[in-house]
Structure 1
Amino acid sequence: MLDTFHDLLLQTLPALKGFALLLTRNRQWAEDLTQETSLRALTRAHQFQPGTNFKAWIFTIMRNQHLDQIRRRRRETQLTDDADALDALMSVRPAQEDGLMLKELLDAVGDLNRGQRETLLLVAGNGLSYEEASKVCGCPVGTIRSRLARARQTLQDRMMGPAPAGPHQPAIARSGRRPEWNQA
């Protein structure tokens, strides 16, 4: 069992690192989160039930670790804006169009609210089912579907601009006017 557990952990590490980076939006914190998650998973290997979804199990651990870190950091002194500004000055921006588009997409994903971002990363980024993502996030499947739809729509609007109103929408929606009874 232990060899299989280690194999599963090693296979999942790239996805864990990616999820951690998008959760924290800070490379150093993401590395710390990945290490803490791996350590916690190893110490709790006896709690994993073979035959269940390892990815969902370890992503739940990571999400809980991340929430614990947020609570801890709130109690600690916040980093100064100067360190973030220095980081931005030291980084080299890509000149290629693909790199710029990727950065724009990652920025858009980073601007999603936490629930939408987590859901998008779990379902679209890491291939978890709606049911598995609902277990990781601790919410109903319907909430996962809603978060994912809203996240996708937000990203599409940001990357491609809002979709024009189609003929299937009511005249009020096409005109952009609010109904008279709702105007104040």
Structure 2
Amino acid sequence: MGVDDQELTRCALAAKQGDTNAATRFVRGTQRQVWQLLRHLADPGVAEDLTQECYLRAFRSLSSYRGRSSARTWLMSIARRVAADHIRQRDRRPRPADLADWQLAAERAQPRSTTMSDGYALRSALEALDPRRREAFVLTQVVGLSYEETAEVAGCRIGTVRSRVARARTDLVEQLSEYDTDHNASRGG
């Protein structure tokens, strides 16, 4: 995880008092995790923009941060709301389906190396997960939050997080084994 939660919380509280060096340390200590979460919860193509939006919101609301929970957990809650807002906004916009379908078909038709193809399969499997399961899985397995921190970010109980992660793993194993079967059949294997 890099910087520990106590140090990040100290940085956030110091940034709240106007310490720009602390603000920089806070961003550097959390930026990769915020980006990873947003990449998996929203659109990978806009993860950078959403990460910036997350920090804009965080710094705007820093005055109300009291340090009762870790700054990392507080920031991940903001990132989660940024992703949800983006998805709501995206779903409201009319989408030129023909263009999107054409682009998807073109991407799928491109020859891929096994590694690239496997990465594509994993990404597709993650995207196919129920959003709550994907969120719990990404927060615990990709971002590296504890089950307790994930429960706080998601606004649910630890047992619910454990259940969602376990079901996400089961779903991923099923989807990836289907991919392996299909992939090997298409290669003549």
Partner of 2:187: none
Q: Quickly say closer, same or farther: Cα 1:157–1:90, change in 2 above 3 A.
A: closer
Structure 1 gap segments, 5+ residues each: 162-184
Q: Quickly say closer, same or farther: Cα 1:102–1:152, change in 2 above 3 A.
A: same
TM-score relative to the length of structure 2: 0.74
Q: CA RMSD in A?
A: 2.3
- Return structure 1 stretches of 4+ with deviation > 6 angstroms: none
Q: Which has the higher helix share?
A: 2
Which protein has greater RCO, CA pairs closer than 8 Å, 6+ apart?
A: 2
Please point out which of 28, 47, 50 is paired with 2:64: 47
SS at match of 1:125: helix
Partner of 2:96: 80
In the alignment, does 2:98 pair up with 1:115? no
Larger radius of gyration: 1
Equivalent pairs, count: 159
Partner of 1:180: none
Task: Kindly indicate whether the alpha-carbon contact (under 8 Å) linking 2:42 and 2:87 is maintained by their aligned counterparts in 1.
Answer: no
CA distance in 2, matches of 1:123, 1:95: 29
Q: Quickly say closer, same or farther: Cα 1:139–1:87, change in 2 above 3 A.
A: same
Partner of 2:40: 22
Partner of 1:124: 141
Per mean C-alpha deviation after superposition, the further-off stretch among 50-59 and 140-149 is: 50-59
Render the CA deviation track for 1:67-122: whole Å, top value 9, x for unaligned.
Answer: 23333445x43212133234433688562211111110111011000000000000
TM-score relative to the length of structure 1: 0.76
Q: Quickly say closer, same or farther: Cα 1:113–1:139, change in 2 above 3 A.
A: same
- How far 1:49 moved relative to its partner? 4.1
Task: Kindly indicate whether the alpha-carbon contact (under 8 Å) linking 1:5 and 1:45 is maintained by their aligned counterparts in 2.
Answer: no
Render the CA deviation track for 1:147-177: whole Å, top value 9, x for unaligned.
Answer: 000001111122235xxxxxxxxxxxxxxxx
Q: Give the fraction of aligned pairs with identical amino acids, expressed as a percent.
A: 29
Aligned amino acid, residue 78 of structure 1: P
